[in-house]
Structure 1
Amino acid sequence: MDSFDDPLQIKNLNISCHAIVRGTIHQGDARFSDFSRGIQCTAMAAASIVISYIKNFDELMSEDVDEILSIGDGLFIRASNNRIVPHQNEINADYLAAEDLQDQTLEFNAKMYKIDINNITYGHVVNDFSEELAMPNLIKLLQHCLEAQKSGILTINAVTVSILTHNNKIGVFDSHSRGYDGKSEPEGVACFISSSVEELFDIITNNYQTDENNFNDQQYQFTSISVIEVPQLNEGAIIIDENAACVNKVRAAEKISKKKSTDQINLNNLHDDCNNVAEDNSNHSDILQENELDYQENGRIQEPNDEEFNENIESEQLVVKRGGLNKGVEDIVCSDINMIANMSWIWNQLHKAFDNHDHLFSCKFKNIKLIKISNHGLRHIFTFKCDMCSLEKKISNVPETKSSLDLNVASIIACQTTGFGLYKFEELMGI
């Protein structure tokens, strides 16, 4: 076995009876932003719990340690932006508490996982009050975690690591600068340590100890965490081509646009196959009413009941143009909610706003989510957000200058403004 003084970069080592998997950086590395650098340990601890939920301890590699840091840093930024602003006099106000991560989600291997807090245990590092106050000392807590196979976030003196359990093993993930023995080292890296309860206790107390006189009375907080895999939903897609108008998909998408706020609507499935194709090729219109629609969380359409449908069947119509569009361009016109969506325009603006927008977090286009839709007259504003770096951009549904406005869109606006409605749209457009 290589000596600790060996200058070679050794990533995975077996030392006595415990195994250490070391990354290449720690949470204070310069590649992290000034906003998060050095204070993301709670979020990184949570990210490690998710990874350990998926991978066995013996499968973890140096690359996994680095990826935990990257995922945890993104989680820290999102959770910090979503939490209630702490009081200005709060100690360590920039740090996250484990409770701030409740229901936060993160992505690993193209799957989404949600963090769920089970319970919180308080105790002293050495002094044991497990019988009187149900406050076990740290070594009893570690033993209980091993026996119950319980993972969670451990915080002492504002420093946080994770206690990981998997397949009757126990380990610690530490995002701080640690040496080859898992203990504090100025030039160290983040690491994962799998060992016995006694050795983990020794490593943790060595890294946390600040005052020998009162260390026995130092308190810890342990937050038990469960990981829940989030089902992937297929959202309704909008598909308009020269042959058919997909009524069901239009209804699904239109219901989404009516919502004042939406929860992470993906655009990846925009060109899904349609389940219900309009059969009347001579009439390029279909009635669409707001109270007909009920977009379910699973992406399916609940058909309107007859009573609700008949109440408004004589009102204005949805006109879907099916011919003459360039490839990749979809236009929807809906008078019921004054909605005009030029998907080509939106798509181009999305790429312009988000392509290569951040290199620090390795953000990808799939990280862009639609989080809110608001309407301003005939204009709709789509708010998109990157779930890695939390960058937000607002994009209009159509060009905002008159000179750039599409002829079809301009005609529709004219119809609405002058009071014609859409029943003369086909006549005006020569369809």
Structure 2
Amino acid sequence: MGPLNGIRVVDLTTVLMGPYATQVLAQMGADVIKVEAPEGDVIRHVGPERNPGMGALFLNSNRGKRSLCLDLKRPQAREALLAVLREADVLVHNLRPQALARLGLDHASLAGAYPRLLHVGLTGFGQDGPYAGRPAYDDLIQGASGLSAWMATAGDGTPRYVPTALADRMVGLAAVGAICAGLLHRERSGRGQQVEVPMFETMAALVLSDHLGGQTFQPPLPGEGYRRLLSPYRRPYRTRDGHVCALVYTDRHWQCFLDALGLGDLPVHDRRFASFASRTAHIDHVYAFLQERFRERTTAQWLELLERIDVPAMPMHDLAGVLADPHLAATGFFQEIEHPSEGRLRATAPPVRWSDTPAPDVRPAPRQGADGIEVLREAGLAEEAIGALLASDALRLPPGRARPEG
């Protein structure tokens, strides 16, 4: 089930970037073992919750995983984790290098005993630069990568953060690609390796791919940023009764659009509309023109017209609109699953599909430590050893979970 079936990932990450990456790997079929400290992943407490430690944000970033709760400050817990790593293909973490080394889980400590292990560090910054030891969060990286400043340029002059954890999610996806590439290399060479995925550099590359502009050239040419993306008029168009998202983009789009409005000769009289290049050079004027036109009809009228003339358009959804979208309903995007402690939940299905290796069924995010005994038994630990870990509190189970006899 899934193209990564048979791949085992030991996940030491917390919050969003790492957990999102490993959730995607789980949706691809990997067996992901989420290793948590006794205090648990802090993101368990974000969002509405039916039970403590099972908040909505955690449930939506940790599907498909099993949970092992170990106090890695205790030597016996570290030994248990090393046993789990014997059958692992990937170790992924977002710990600072110094903390990882203190636990003896850095690449240098593990490479000799685990030569096929892919050792993946999700860091805030590349470890060979002056920011190496700094903490990093989504807000900081959005600002440092230039994204917040570009938001100010495109808006009312006020720097803003994108209202989603964009850096965490995008860097998480970059980590998925890096892990899959590392696994492919191991299949060819038989060797694991150390992989570093830094947030700052990854997001800077993403933002600058649009906005490096004249600084691409040495010496620099005038101009910075992708002008269309930075226009303050680039936003959903207000209609007579709501908003619509439309992109009148190519020469064909414009000809069809203007003909439908009875303005087919506009490019002849106003050369700002004559070509893709001239429209881009005068993008504020062009978008202001569109804003005025879209106010003349209702959202439904625009969506019908734009579909008929084959100009790209979509409704502007709020949360209720996304949940009710007919396309998402037809593709089975939303699923309802049963959680052992949280009851009935809505979950999103994996959006990527494989014809020969379909993704596994959605498995709900785990209670903290729910799978610890199962995972350690699979790692070859004897019942006596598991019992000793439980007795010392080096291994934790969910509250109310009965301990095995013997």
Q: TM-score, normalised by structure 1?
A: 0.26
Q: Which has the higher contact order (CA 8 A, sep 6+)?
A: 2
TM-score by length of 2: 0.27
Higher strand share: 1
Q: Which has the larger radius of gyration?
A: 1
